[in-house]
Amino acid sequence: MVTGEIQIRVRYAETDRMGLLHHANYLVYFEQARTELLRDTGVSYKDLEDKGFFLVVAKVEIKYRSPAHYDDVLTVRTTVVRTSPVRLEHQYQVFREGGTLVCEALTTLACVDRAGKLQAMPDFLVQTK
């Protein structure tokens, strides 16, 4: 399994009136974590898209465990847990400093062409089991 970690500091603009990280911003963090995980393999999303491969989010599941606050430093751990010829599944764990689990999530990405039609992923992505 391919796993990576990034750290993100919660910015003021990402919080609600209570100073908590707004639930929608977790999706942005997951995308950033996936992008960096792919980059760690030597390929960027831009490289994939330039070759006509687009990875679109088909499914998201999030379990919020503990709130994140303005200025918290979060660690997002991302793991590729399943691949198929046209899909890629990532698991996420978000921790606050000190190891508190903030949330867990799962995303399924589908590989499509420029017209939005399902297509087979490049071989190196399918082999990241």
- For the stretch 51-68, pLDDT in tens is 999 999 999 999 999 999
Query: Cβ(91)–Cβ(78) under 8 Å?
Result: yes
Active site residues: 16
pLDDT at 129 over 50: no
What pLDDT is recorded for position 80?
Answer: 96
Residue for token digits 């998201």? 60
CA-based nearest residue to 122, from 37, 40, 43: 43
Q: pTM here? A: 0.92
- For the stretch 73-114, pLDDT in tens is 999 999 999 999 999 999 999 999 999 999 999 999 999 999
